[in-house]
Structure 1
């Protein structure tokens, strides 16, 4: 069987009966725009477009909100459920792992069985598992429902992009993606503040109950106004061997990255699952080259823009999550702000991101993805460079301008890289492309926290003894403090029982200086990564399927 040209939209067979809804075979155009109405009998209204956009925006807002709102509730959850630190980490990591490993499968299910159908199932599953989280009586039950939440999110998120790709014509797609990105950023921005208010005035369970009304409205709008679309060619099953190899490989690789914080990069607990995961991913590639109906069609990567777009999503979210994680530690543990106060001070980043995404859509529509990606990556590099100048006593006035630049840069990068990925895949594989984009997002986030975390710990470990010596900390106390670089790497000061206030003040000063050195080292790594990404952005071209005659 020959391999179809994956950059040319698939034309439906003339043997159709005319009684079923038309499949998504290309972008709507003024001449054929009636394909967007439910039975193809009327001209599509802007109202339908807006309500379709509302449905997918609410869906992705639920997932983004849950990515940030839980952090604020963690101390209360630990106290109420008696969670250990490891158990509390799995409340977040279980969700992220399940989401990361199932995104491409979720997109494939949408391509095969219908994007609207799988999206609605994902929304319903996310809302119901959120209720399960709220009713959890133990940490283990909560982690189990968080895993199910992640799997539901993996069905939901990639199909939001596929629905937009099938609904909006090329002239409007980038603006729609900009609104999609802005909604996601707005949810992430409001998470710490909304979560803090709910935990303080209601309960930690209420942060999960919040998803129920959002899910109800999203599902209603989708069932009422979103047109069902699916791939027009189905040559086989769901490629279960491919699903197993990809999910297993991603699971082990992400697991190994998460474990680096506890064991270090050279530990067998990290290397063994990491290597096995990479082997499974290699076997997945071999499998996909021979599969009649592959889970991830490898010819997609013949598009240079799509391949580079995936790399830029990883590097962009590497930057975003790395900065959010360590600047959050800086604000809370060095400046001693509460979680809500930290969320408020991060608003210049997240709010500008929410507005920067629609701007990124307009610029990408006007200039193509290359220049917004280049500009955005240079902004990220500038942010990293500026943050190398932060000191323990830096006033907020020296911080927020960099948050604004980062938010604007991420708005450009998110939309332009999404266009490079989803816009360079045919509608036939829109769900898979959406899954690929969001998988790259999750991997970038994991890399941002783990790689930069390792850089911080290494810098703290090498600089802490000298800082303690310079602060005049006695040898025995200094040895006890130096044995805890992980604590200092969070911006905290190890507690040494029986130590005088004067010596503890010196320990605090040395620990803070070592943490700031680690933070600066991480930011320099970010500068290098984003500058390389800016060069890669020059390889991006305008939408390649448009050059093939669409």
Structure 2
């Protein structure tokens, strides 16, 4: 029997979206599966925790500095070949991680793995435009968000099981096998597309890429670490990041085919989407950084209960991603975006108040409200940004979205973590009183609510300019 549902996807497109979702799963697993291995790595390599943490930081830094470059490469030589190459890099570097004989070798392999991870984070968002009808873009974005959340939630438990079974090397070898399988599946599922860049005779913007890499590296190091391998003071690194940003703009203005087209950033909708993405991502990272301290030192929960409680967030993200995409398709990206921001603000105010009144129940209820709001914002914001981008800018735009999200994560961990410590009255929160930790927790999330309120003001300002007026997800921007 024939169907009149114009939104139904042909089987080939279903397989393509599945391949993209599996890639997002791999990229998030690359971060989360290794976190539980840090104590084992410290013991096996006889290194301090501050050294082995670079197994995680190396991957995050590599993703951050490479994600825009990977997106732009997709625009220039084709999204599909760059995506498949990223899977191959991820598979090979995972194998090298699994057989690394020393900690420096493992960190080097993780940096290479992060380059593959950058491709897997940037390209699926842009390839969606090639594989699904415009009116289904929101649903596809929601699925990608769900798979990313599943990877975040699954990583610690899967990693723990593998380490207990046969050791930390198994975590990377499993990632290598998974990446190889996704590579084979994607090669069959994704349709071939010609490169979208219309420029002739212009190569990759290597000067811009070099300046951007150094700038992002300086900023990332300033907000993530100041003691291990890099002895430059944090203030110097931040100044270098500011000067690097100025230099990057000057370089890009001189080039005919820049790495980042500055004119695209002049579009109000595009710049608003990137700023909101950074602000909201900073807040969500604060939940992961500050939450465990409150549960352990204010509510007095043991490690197992803290872990189970914190798992509520990723679980809700996994459950709410696809519904968020469908809401975006039904009501339009701009309406869904504003609704997601409002729900996020309500969730942040709740988490600053309810745990003090209801204990762990208040914390869980707040997460159940907060996380779906974030997923709705994420699906809507990605949909709006990608529908706004020209065809030959989709890779660049998806890379910028990934970059703003990662910068938000790092900024949130640093800035809101500092707010929490300052409000607690000590850098070592473990020595603060229960009352001080509770007060600091509430204050931190009120500040976080201020961040998202700023994002809401940006959204409403853009809406007032009538750039969002007819932006149903089923229409072209």
Instruction: After TM superposition, give the deviation of residue 332 of structure 1 in Å.
Output: 4.8
> Aligned ranges for residues 505-544 of structure 1 at < 5 Å?
510-538=432-460, 539-540=462-463, 541=468
Q: Residue 296 of structure 1: SS of its match in structure 2? A: coil
Deviation at 1:106, TM superposition (A): 0.3
Matched, 1:100 2:72: no
Q: Any idea what SS the aligned residue of 2:53 has? A: helix
Aligned partner (choices 167, 179, 203) of residue 237 of structure 1: 203
- Among 428, 447, 456, the alignment partner of 1:487 is 428
1:255 to partner: Cα distance:
1.3
What TM-score, normalized to structure 2? 0.90
TM-score after normalising by structure 1: 0.78
Q: Is the 8 A contact 1:425 1:545 kept in 2?
A: no
User: Tell me, what secondary structure is at the counterpart of 1:210?
Assistant: helix
Q: Distance in 2 between the 1:255 and 1:389 partners?
A: 33
Structure 2 counterpart of 1:67: 31
Is the contact made by 2:29 and 2:154 (CA closer than 8 Å) also made in structure 1? yes
Q: How much does 1:188 deviate?
A: 0.9
Q: Provide the rounded CA distance (Å) in 2 between the counterparts of 1:543 and 1:226.
A: 31
Once the two structures are TM-superposed, the CA of residue 155 in structure 1 deviates from its matched residue by: 2.4
Q: CA separation of 1:351/1:125 partners in 2, compared to 1, >3 Å: closer, same or farther? A: same
Question: Equivalent residue of 2:258, what SS?
Answer: coil
Distance 1:170 1:100 in 2: 29
* Distance verdict in 2 for CA 1:193–1:344, change over 3 Å: farther
- Alignment match of 1:250 (pick from 192, 205, 216): 216
Distance 1:392 1:382, change over 3 A: closer
Contact 1:176 1:361 in 2 (8 A): yes
Select which of 302, 315, 332 maps to 1:337: 302
SS at match of 2:281: helix
Tell me how large the CA RMSD over aligned residues is: 2.7
Tell me what 1:18 maps to. none
* Alignment counterpart, residue 227 of structure 1, candidates 165, 172, 191: 191
| Distance in 1 (alpha carbons) for counterparts of 2:433 and 2:475 | 59
Alpha-carbon separation, structure 1, partners of 2:135 and 2:356 = 48
Structure 1 window deviating more from structure 2 (538-547 vs 180-189): it is 538-547
Partner of 2:391: 427
Counterparts of 2:181 and 2:427 in 1: how far apart (Å)?
A: 44
- Which structure features the higher share of helix residues? 2
Structure 1 distance, partners of 2:449, 2:220, is: 24
Q: C-alpha displacement at 1:294, in angstroms? A: 0.9
Residues 383 and 189 from structure 1, CA distance in 2 versus in 1: closer, same or farther, beyond 3 angstroms? same
Q: Which moved more, 1:47-56 or 1:80-89?
A: 80-89
How far 1:363 moved relative to its partner?
1.7
Q: Look at both structures and tell me which one has the larger radius of gyration over its CA atoms.
A: 1
Higher alpha-carbon deviation: 67-76 or 182-191: 67-76
Aligned counterparts, 1:312-351, within 5 A: 312-332=276-296, 335-338=300-303, 341-351=305-315
Residue 59 of structure 1: SS of its match in structure 2?
helix
Q: Secondary structure at the match of 1:234?
A: coil
The equivalences for 1:387-406 within 5 A come to 387-389=351-353, 395-406=359-370
Q: Is the 8 A contact 2:355 2:361 kept in 1?
A: no
> Structure 1 stretches of 5 or more lacking a match?
1-29, 34-43, 462-484, 494-509
Distance 1:378 1:165, change over 3 A: same
Ranges in structure 2 where 5+ consecutive residues have no aligned partner: none
Alignment check: 8 A CA contact 2:134 2:473 kept: no
Counterpart of 1:151 in structure 2 is: 115
Per the TM alignment, residue 327 of structure 1 is displaced from its structure 2 partner at its CA by 0.9
Aligned to 2:344: 380
1:363 corresponds in structure 2 to: 327
Size of the alignment, in residue pairs?
462
Deviation at 1:202, TM superposition (A): 3.3
Contact 1:198–1:206, Cα closer than 8 Å, also in 2: yes
